[in-house]
């Protein structure tokens, strides 16, 4: 499904973000990418989303070179990948329902689909009773669950979760990880970046470890080892 083929990224100041990175992600996998700050995790994610361009090498998604997708088709391509971030990125003036509906409207979904799907995904993340709450009326964990619901509502093939528990306490962290596992069990590929050793060790899923832009480990049922 996803293939990084000898990808390197060197910036103008000669700093190396990625160096000769190659690995693949199969459909339905749950893969965690770990490493210290500056190891290259976020750059790796930005490559997949075509937000960064490799200095050399290629990134493929479903046999398509991500960086050869025409601008006019980039929106269509990115809808195949749902994104969840550490800082939630919710619209503060919109309710939980409206935040998710907004993502559906941007994808061209009609009002009937929105009325049907938004309550469904909020139930999936255990927030069926919070659809009319604004972000400032929700806890950090609840805001992140809304962000996950927004990411999955257009039924992407892949969810990229970039440090999704970075601002959360251990209880909310556990709940977010359980929701990601549930989404994975339903068939969606999950790519998670995290610093959280407890999360990685509890998942018992594939772990790619990065250090200074290189992949130094790739363990099928890994732990956080640095």
Q: How many residues does the chain have?
A: 226
- Whether 224 shows a pLDDT value over 80: the answer reads no
pLDDT digit string, tens, across residues 79-88: 999 999 999 9
- Domain ranges in the chain are 1-79+195-226
Please give the pLDDT value at position 89. 93
DSSP string, 94-146: S-HHHHHHHHHHHTT--HHHHHHHHHHHHHHTT-TT-TT--GGGS-HHHHHHH
Q: pTM above the 0.85 mark? A: yes
Sorted by sequence, the CB contacts under 8 Å of residue 95 that are 6+ apart come out as: 131, 132, 133, 134
Do 159 and 147 form a contact (C-beta atoms < 8 A)? no
Superfamily grouping for domain 1-79+195-226? P-loop containing nucleotide triphosphate hydrolases (3.40.50.300)
Please give the pLDDT value at position 226. 65
Beta strands in the chain (DSSP E): 2-10, 16-25, 30-34, 56-61, 64-65, 81-85, 158-162, 189-193, 206-211, 214-219
Tally Cβ neighbours within 10 Å of residue 221: 9
pLDDT above 90 coverage of the chain, percent: 85
For 40, the 3-state DSSP assignment is coil
- Whether 99 shows a pLDDT value over 90: the answer reads yes
pLDDT digit string, tens, across residues 120-151: 999 999 999 999 999 999 999 999 999 999 99
How many Å apart are CA 203 and CA 85, to the nearest integer?
Answer: 19
- Whether 225 shows a pLDDT value over 90: the answer reads no
User: Rounded to 5 degrees, what angle do the CA atoms 53, 2, 118 make?
Assistant: 95
Q: pLDDT band at 197, cuts 50/70/90?
A: confident
Q: DSSP class of residue 67?
A: G
Do 41 and 33 form a contact (C-beta atoms < 8 A)? yes
- Whether 213 shows a pLDDT value over 70: the answer reads yes
pLDDT digit string, tens, across residues 46-77: 999 999 999 999 999 999 999 999 999 998 89
């Amino acid at each position: 499904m996803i293939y990084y083929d000898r990808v390197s990224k060197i910036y103008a100041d000669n700093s190396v973000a990625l160096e000769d990175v190659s690995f693949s992600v199969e459909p339905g996998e749950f893969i965690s990418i770990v490493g210290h700050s500056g190891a290259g995790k976020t750059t790796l994610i930005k490559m997949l989303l075509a937000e960064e361009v490799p200095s050399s090498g290629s990134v493929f998604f479903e046999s398509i070179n991500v960086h050869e997708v025409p601008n006019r088709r980039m929106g269509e391509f990115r809808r195949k990948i749902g994104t969840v971030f550490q800082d939630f990125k919710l619209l503060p003036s919109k309710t939980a329902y409206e935040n998710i509906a907004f993502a559906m409207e941007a994808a061209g979904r009609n009002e009937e689909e929105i009325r049907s799907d938004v309550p469904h995904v909020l139930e999936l993340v255990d927030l069926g009773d919070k659809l009319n709450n604004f972000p400032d009326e929700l806890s950090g964990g609840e805001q992140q669950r809304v962000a996950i619901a927004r990411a999955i509502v257009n039924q992407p093939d892949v969810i990229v979760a970039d440090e999704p528990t970075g601002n959360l306490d251990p209880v909310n962290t556990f709940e977010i990880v359980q929701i990601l596992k549930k989404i994975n069990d339903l068939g969606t590929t999950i790519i998670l970046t995290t610093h959280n050793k407890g999360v990685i060790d509890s998942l018992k899923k594939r772990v790619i470890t990065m250090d200074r832009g290189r992949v130094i480990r790739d363990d099928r049922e890994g732990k956080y080892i640095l």
